[in-house]
Structure 1
């Protein structure tokens, strides 16, 4: 008898979760153990349920400080990093609406084993779940080379985190508080960001983020 695969679904849209829930459970070999609608709940539910595979959206509320907050790609990435820091053997498959750079490379760097877009066919999701569960890696067709020329690929993980927060319109003081850094350190990272991206203002930074689909317009 084929071993069943337990899954934690993470997406802030109930209808999306319902659709994927039906698709996954109809297969018969996959069981949805739980559903989360923000990054904080995803981390907590992972620790409680210990599913075989986490299917993770990127653009979702953080759920921090008692409120959902705005949906951000940074929240999804941070959820992956928190789960991986707690359990290096965690199996995370990203299922996102975004296929623009730099997210395929960023999520793999964060520890995810696979990346699909929500435009993928239903059977591709099932194939991806089985492959990452078996210890493999799965990237949707065309994503293996995606992002090689992205200006964000030169950024470190910390620089990318700061980039994402600044792109959401957060102030230096807010970024410093959120990342437990001094404002002086954040200013230094922002200067490095501007130099690497060849820009001179936050407005240009936000423009890049919008163009690459990192923040919603």
Structure 2
């Protein structure tokens, strides 16, 4: 049985949560709070398995509440259920210590699955938030690719063809050391830590054809 503390400043919203969760045989709402201060006191009193909280709360924000709870109990399981669909809110909630973030526009099944995931210690985002984050990341990666200079892009292309630093140095009439330095700079600019990640990014933006990769491997 998962014991849950509900935190939302709207009583009618909490009533809706409670009605939904009461139908689940493995979930039990043990306490409710309408603001951050009350929520923290109830958390200390009941020590619930999981906290479901909004971010916008009177007296103290949901982010402050998350941080205080995590300071008190590092293994606390916290799921944010909020009207805010801006992924920046989700990122801040995760930084504060929440394991999950679900928008209030999500279907009830999404919330219920998220409760199980967070209770199990897994990170989770509702599909709408995850999609926005993925699109933003894709956009930032494309912008990063555009910051490469002509020579850097050419070195990236040759690297993706499987050519060594020495091979590339001969092709471009530069030193192998320069190629090595550019190789490091390319990964830094694109925000990747390994050649495997670099290859995945090259495939994503058609710098490298997957069929070409299979021929290189062969």
- TM-score where L is the length of structure 1: 0.60
Q: 2:2–2:49: 8 Å Cα contact kept in structure 1?
A: yes
- The reply to whether residue 77 of structure 1 matches residue 63 of structure 2 is yes
Matching residue of 2:38: 41
Alpha-carbon distance between aligned partners in 1 of 2:17 and 2:87, rounded to the nearest angstrom: 24
Q: CA deviation at 1:126?
A: 0.9
Equivalent pairs, count: 135
Alignment counterpart, residue 74 of structure 2, candidates 84, 88, 103: 88
Matching residue of 1:137: 123
- The reply to whether residue 26 of structure 1 matches residue 23 of structure 2 is yes
Q: CA deviation at 1:77?
A: 0.6
Alignment counterpart, residue 56 of structure 2, candidates 56, 59, 72: 59
Alignment counterpart, residue 16 of structure 1, candidates 13, 16, 41: 13
Q: 2:87–2:129: 8 Å Cα contact kept in structure 1?
A: no
Q: CA deviation at 1:145?
A: 5.7
Matching residue of 1:186: none
Q: CA deviation at 1:136?
A: 0.9
Q: Which structure 2 residue ranges, 5 or more long, are not aligned?
A: 138-218
Q: CA deviation at 1:28?
A: 1.6
Q: 2:101–2:124: 8 Å Cα contact kept in structure 1?
A: yes
Q: Which has the larger radius of gyration?
A: 2
More helix by share: 2
Q: 2:86–2:129: 8 Å Cα contact kept in structure 1?
A: no
Alpha-carbon distance between aligned partners in 1 of 2:129 and 2:83, rounded to the nearest angstrom: 13
- Aligned Cα RMSD in Å? 1.4
